[in-house]
Structures are given as structure tokens and as C-alpha cells.
Structure 1
Amino acid sequence: MRVDFYQLAGESAENLLPLLARKVRADGERLLIVSEDAEQLQRIGRNLWERFPEAFLAHGHSGARHAERQPILLSADCEAPNAAPHVVFADGRWRDGASNFARVFLLFGEEQLQGARDCWRMLGQHADAERHFWKQEGGRWREGP
């Protein structure tokens, strides 16, 4: 399992997600976006439509009709009825179900920094976890130490 940690400094998860979703979809993969914050999921949904209108980031909500058909699914939990191999934890919280996915994106801000550090250390003890850390520099995302 590959885990990408994205430290949000001056960027919101809602603004970053269309970039990640566009890349995942360009690779022909499906995506599950998880947040326990219903309002955040609504903002994410709006940004998926509006941020890159030419990209057509079609999506739906877990529990809605035809959720299993959606290329991008928004959910409050870690279940993927759309059989997505990739998951984004948009609210900065790690979930036990992460091991069911090939790739995990953990987006975290200053308030989740300690939790992200704890998660990094915990995953360092798992031989099957490949960890990557991303931060913004000069308006671009760069992989860092």
C-alpha cells in the first residue's frame, strides 16, 4: 500500500482534491473521498464540478442510487461500493480500513499535524507501507523528506 501524506499549508482539502481526482481519473482509476464532515463533502462535491469544468470529474455520494457506478464517490466512511482502489482521507483522520486500498492520500492541516506524525511512525513499522510526504513550495506540490 502506498500512502501519500499531503500537508495543507495555505491550501484547503477542497481545493486540492480536484487536482488529485483529475490525476487518478486520468490514470483510469476510481476514487473514494472520505470525510466525517458532511459540509466538507458538499464543498468537495462543488469543487469537483467547478474547479476544472473541462475535466468533468463525475462523482456521487455513498448511499445514493447507483453509487457503485460512480468513478469518484464521496462518503463518511471507508467502504467503497464503487470498488475504488484509491482513497482520500480529506478530514485528516486515518482509518483502519485503509489497508483495503492500494493507495491512500491523507490530507492534513496544522490541527491534524500530530495525528499525521503518529500515523507516519505507525506506518513505518509496516513493511508493506510505502510512505511519501508532499508539501507546497512556491505554489507547487513537491515531494519532501
Structure 2
Amino acid sequence: MTEVDFYILSSDEPDKRLAFASRLCEKAINNGRKVLIATDDATQLASVAKHLTDERPESYLPWRHSDATDSGEPIALDCSGECGNHHDVLISLCAQLPEYFSRFARMAEVVIQTDAVLAHTRQHWSFLGERGYPIRHHKLGRAHNV
């Protein structure tokens, strides 16, 4: 059964959400995991890609689009609703739970303090809790340490 983590940031800034997702990816791949980041649309996907590339210049995070040929990159980005062969770690930045979330060993959601994100987070928490998924939450202060 998919283990679920909600990382609750104190910020309401979308860039902080993307920066945290980037650091979460870095930690996961440093632990030998493969990550799929799911976004709502191509604009959000482009913002994630920029953060993965530019957030920490000293730390290269190899990624590809989920529909591109897999050349061994540990991070894939998706906005199409297709996860391909991924099943390890899912970071969902989507307003709706991706239909394929239960294929993953772990799923993380990064939560910021905006009405829209909080509303869909509550829906996801309820849906997952009612179905017995193991849920952990991590309330993070200003440092946003992973």
C-alpha cells in the first residue's frame, strides 16, 4: 500500500513549494530512489523543471519528461496523467490526486498556505484516510529542511 507524506510549509509562496519539491527529489535520488513529479499542466511542469535545473547550481538533478526515452534519469516530470513504468516515489503537485498514485511505493504532497492548495490537500487527506492509506504529516517551519 502506498505510504503518503504531506509536507506542510509555513509559506504561501508557490516558489517555496517548488524549491522544497526539488530538495525532496535530491534527497530521494541520493537514497537511490526514482521520482516522478506530477503537475497539473505544462506551465507548472516548466516551473518545476526550472527549479530542478537552477535551484542549487552545485547539485545537478537529472530529469526528463515522462514521455521521453528513459536514459537513466532518476527524475521524470509529468503533466499528462501517464506515469509510464514509474512506481517508486511520486511527488504530486496536482489539485486532483493522480489516478495512478496507488502504483507507487510512496507519495508526497508539498503543501503551501494558499486557499486552493489547502482545499485540495484536505480532500486528498480525507480520501486517502478513508481508504486506510498510511499518512504522515511533517509541519515545517521557515528552514524547510528535508
C-alpha RMSD over aligned residues: 2.1
Contact 2:83 2:100 in 1 (8 A): no
**Larger displacement relative to structure 2 (104-113 or 42-51):** 104-113
Which structure shows the higher strand fraction? 1
> 1:52 & 1:6 partners in 2: Cα distance?
20
Of structures 1 and 2, the one scoring higher in RCO (CA 8 A, sep 6+) is: 2
Contact 2:86 2:104 in 1 (8 A): no
Unaligned runs of 5+ in 2: none
SS in 2 for 1:20: helix
Contact 2:90 2:104 in 1 (8 A): yes
CA 1:92–1:4: 2 relative to 1, 3 Å: farther
Q: Aligned residues, how many?
A: 140
Runs of 4+ in 1 over 6 A off after TM superposition: none
Q: Counterparts of 1:1-145 in structure 2 under 5 Å?
A: 1-8=2-9, 9-12=11-14, 13-64=17-68, 66-67=69-70, 69-109=72-112, 110=114, 111-127=116-132, 129-141=133-145
In the superposition, the TM-score normalised over structure 2's length comes to 0.82
Contact 1:134 1:141 in 2 (8 A): no
Unaligned runs of 5+ in 1: none
1:59 partner amino acid = W
1:83 partner amino acid = H
Identity %: 26
In the superposition, the TM-score normalised over structure 1's length comes to 0.82
Contact 1:32 1:87 in 2 (8 A): yes
Deviation at 1:10, TM superposition (A): 3.5
1:90 partner amino acid = L
Deviation at 1:91, TM superposition (A): 3.1
2:129 partner amino acid = G
Contact 2:87 2:105 in 1 (8 A): no
